[in-house]
Structure 1
Amino acid sequence: MQKRNNYTEIEDFLSDESFQSWILFKIDENGWEEWTLENGQRAKLVENARLLLLAMKVPDSNLSSSDIHKALHTTWIKIEEKENQNHFIRNSRRFFQRPFITGIAASLLFCLISVWFYKDHFATDKVVTYKELIDENSEGLVEQTNNSNKSQIITLSDGSSVLLQPNSKLSYPKIFTGNERKVYLSGEGFFEISKNPKKPFYVYANEIVTKVVGTSFRVKAYSDQPNVEVLVRTGKVKVKPNNLVASKDDQEVVLLPNQALRFWRKDLKFNKITNITEDETLAHSVGNIEQLSFEFTDIPVSQIFETIEQAYLVDIDYPKNKLKDCHLTTSLSDQPLTEKLKIVCKSIGTNTSFEMNGNQIIINSDGCN
């Protein structure tokens, strides 16, 4: 791969099969990303080559209008430079003889102009699909799909929990590595995130990304609906367009408890709602988990379990006779489901534990301390 150190023209990169694999299929077996970042001038040349290669994928193109203009500008500059050289014809002949370049040379300019014209004159929205979001991620992901008629609980490796609604799916790594936690949603899910300030949590859904540290919130992002909704129950979240549609002028929108955001996909615009009770659609969509209180003062354990069942739509099996006289005072707000169960079991006694199997929870206990 040392030959790439001598690349000085965009066509050098376009004719390199390993470069094609890196850009088009995210396969970086030859360390292109690290090599690119070693030199600023090199990075600029690589970026220009990337834009031109992606332009060939017109139906799936993620290029913005500014990207198209930049790519066109770069192309014309190089053409003018060639025209000013006496060897332009000879160089062009050598260039067009390359097998891979032949197709690009014949259609590149047409593709660029077509995409630019379409975006400037016809396209009013930039739809981002769930598949595109997944393809942007290089780490192995697990996908959970809810094809049932009721919500499902997903527990992530960091202890965070997601209440996934019907006709929804979530992709996430088996174990969160690095300094970020990223998941990808299609549909609707209620998130309760384990606190970890050093490792922020990101939910990618359609055209937006929601960033949190530790909080509870709902994201509704169905592919066939015109908007995306984020509703915060506890804590604070930040929402912004994801990298596939973002521009340098885009700002983060901060949401606090009982605030929401509606992102209009067609116009790429945010509508912040400071009081969800004043929005009829949101007010009617609030579920049990967003309304029930998890602050308990001298409350029977049976009632606490009943509240958890109503919130998460789970079934809790526990020894009723052994726990009938147990009363607890505890706060379970802003905690994922598994953490709630840990706190309750610890409060009951050291001989109390729980098991989870999907939406079925079993409490094992010899009684209160």
Structure 2
Amino acid sequence: MRQRNNYTEIEDFLDDPSFQIWVRTKDDQQGWEEWTLENPQRAKLVEEARLWLLAMKVPQDSLTPTDIELALQSTWLKIDQKIAGEKSAKKSVVKLWQNSWFRGVAAVFLFGLISGLMYTNYFVSGHASVNYATLIDGNDGGLVEQTNNSSKPQIITLSDGSSVLLQPKSKLSYPKIFNGNDRKVYLSGEGFFEISKNPEKPFYVFANEIVTKVVGTSFRIKAYANEPSIEVLVRTGVVKVRSNQLIRSIKDEEVALLPNQALRFTRENLSFKKITDITQDESLSRMVSSTIEQLSFEFTDIPLEQIFKTIEQAYLVDIDFPKDKLKDCHLTTSLSDQPLPEKLKIICKSIGNDSSYIMNGNQIIILSNGCN
């Protein structure tokens, strides 16, 4: 990690085995994705190095000798122009050419050159849109996709205990198990997230053109592909939002949001607007009118049946529990900053007597012999 902080040239990244693994196999055990997000000034350099590596996958017989010759001439001309006047220019060119695998890249550089021009003229210029399909494309088939084609929200439980209330006409892609140093999911549409706390593995939600980073909190993201903007609304905790590295605007920025604050990302000009008073914004006011944002999960000597009704209202789930055995149970607890599975665990532990729960989609069954 410290070594990469000193990378200033494309070849520095290309010489790094962990960078090669990340680009070619999507295995990000060394945290390249997070490092790039935290170093936006190097995002373009990372993307250029990535395009060099991807160019190696193009069959050489797809290019004519003339194409290759023209590409090579263009390559070295660009390098000479870039490093003109620098004492280390000659060493940089020699260093590049001495890498045998890099010579393979140069042989198909026409692809990389075209890709680089597309990146510069299309993505960086701010006239691109990054959609859900683009984000999940290239993953090695390890993602599970959940689509809500029903008329009401659906609850999704992730392997780390986090939960997502997925709205109709929305999709969420996520790994069966979160491996590596982070947790990443991909959203198209709208979802209310409650993230299990784990400071060692930050949680990222990729929603079209923006990336939301959290450790443990609850928030809503509205990112429909056919709408002009994306909105993030925080209920508890703190989140950080920035533009996706694939579509950097000229002005790189990261916006931190506190509880009851929101952000609107406008696609047309790639701009961020932080909103500290959501009651003054009509669109956001409609969002917070959702039941889950309105209900309180602070309980003081409240009958268990009433607590279950609150959870049913918030998550639109059905809870089946032995009413005769739990009718006299009261509970004092705070469940405001907990994902749904954690809420159920806390309740069962408070009930005692080996109480447990079974969750199958939007159906929850409480197993218990009564209160302590």
Name the TM-score, length of structure 2 as normaliser.
0.71
The one of 249, 254, 265 equivalent to 1:263 is: 265
Superposition deviation, residue 282 in structure 1: 0.7
Shift of 1:115: 8.0
Do structure 1's residue 342 and structure 2's residue 345 form an aligned pair?
A: yes
Deviations 1:73-117 (A, max 9, x none): 84644799xxxxxxxxxxxxxxxxxxx999986x99888778867
Instruction: Call closer, same or farther: CA 1:170–1:103 in 2, change over 3 Å.
Output: same
Q: Match of 2:222?
A: 220
Partner amino acid for 1:250? D
How far is 1:135 from its partner?
A: 2.1
**Which residue number in structure 1 is paired with residue 303 of structure 2?**
300
Equivalent residue for 2:52?
50
**Mapped pair 1:321 → 2:324:** yes
The aligned runs of 1:1-369 (5 Å cut-off) are: 26=24, 47=49, 50=52, 53=55, 74=75, 76-77=77-78, 125-138=127-140, 140-246=142-248, 249-286=251-288, 287-369=290-372
Contact 1:209 1:240 (8 Å CA) reproduced: yes
CA–CA separation in structure 1 for the residues paired with 2:152 and 2:113: 51
Aligned counterparts of 2:200 and 2:119: Cα–Cα separation in 1: 41
Give how far 1:362 is off: 0.7
Please tell me the residue identity of whatever aligns with 1:290. E
CA shift for structure 1 position 348: 1.3
The answer to whether the 8 Å contact 2:231/2:262 transfers is yes
Q: Residue 264 and residue 114 in structure 1: after superposition, are their counterparts in 2 closer, same or farther (change >3 A)?
A: closer
- 1:171 and 1:362, CA in 2 relative to 1: closer, same or farther beyond 3 A? same
The question of whether the paired residues in 2 share the 8 Å contact of 1:72 and 1:112 is answered with no
Tell me how far apart the structure 1 counterparts of residues 297 and 144 of structure 2 sit (CA, whole Å): 31
Q: Secondary structure, in 3 states, of the residue corresponding to 2:247?
A: coil
Greater C-alpha radius of gyration:
1
Q: CA deviation at 1:166?
A: 0.6
Question: What's the offset of the Cα at 1:351?
Answer: 2.6
Q: Distance in 1 between matches of 2:249 and 2:74?
A: 19
Q: In 2 relative to 1, CA 247–117 (structure 1 residues): closer, same or farther, beyond 3 Å?
A: closer
Q: Using the alignment, how far apart are the partners of 2:319 and 2:185 within structure 1? A: 28
Report the Cα offset of residue 359 of structure 1.
0.3
Please, which runs of 5 or more residues in structure 1 have no aligned partner?
A: 1-21, 35-42, 57-70, 81-99
- C-alpha distance in 2 between matches for 1:177 and 1:221: 26
What is the identity, as a one-letter code, of the residue corresponding to 1:289? I
Would you say how many aligned residue pairs link Structure 1 and Structure 2? 302
**Cα distance in 1 for residues equivalent to 2:132 and 2:263:** 20
What is the CA-CA distance between 1:344 and the residue it aligns to? 0.8
Instruction: Provide the C-alpha distance between the structure 2 equivalents of 1:366 and 1:47, rounded to a whole number of angstroms.
Output: 61
* Cα distance in 1, alignment partners of residues 140 and 366 from structure 2: 39
Task: Calculate the TM-score normalised by the size of structure 1.
Answer: 0.71
The residue type paired with residue 294 of structure 2 is Q
Supply the AA of the counterpart residue of 1:362: I
C-alpha change, 1:249 and 1:350, in structure 2 (3 Å) is farther
Mapped to 2, the partners of 1:288 and 1:266 lie a distance apart of 31
Gaps of 5+ in 2: 1-19, 33-44, 59-71, 82-104
Q: Aligned AA for 2:254?
A: E
| Rounded Cα–Cα distance in structure 2 between residues aligned with 1:339 and 1:316 | 15
1:85 corresponds to: none
Whether the 8 Å CA contact 1:188–1:220 is kept in 2: the answer is yes
Distance 2:362 2:108 in 1: 54
On the 8 A contact 1:48/1:74 being kept in 2, the answer is no
- 1:355 and 1:158 mapped to 2: Cα distance? 17
**Does structure 2 conserve the Cα–Cα contact (< 8 Å) formed by 1:126 and 1:266?**
no
SS in 1 for 2:168: coil
Structure 1 residue 319: deviation in Å? 1.2
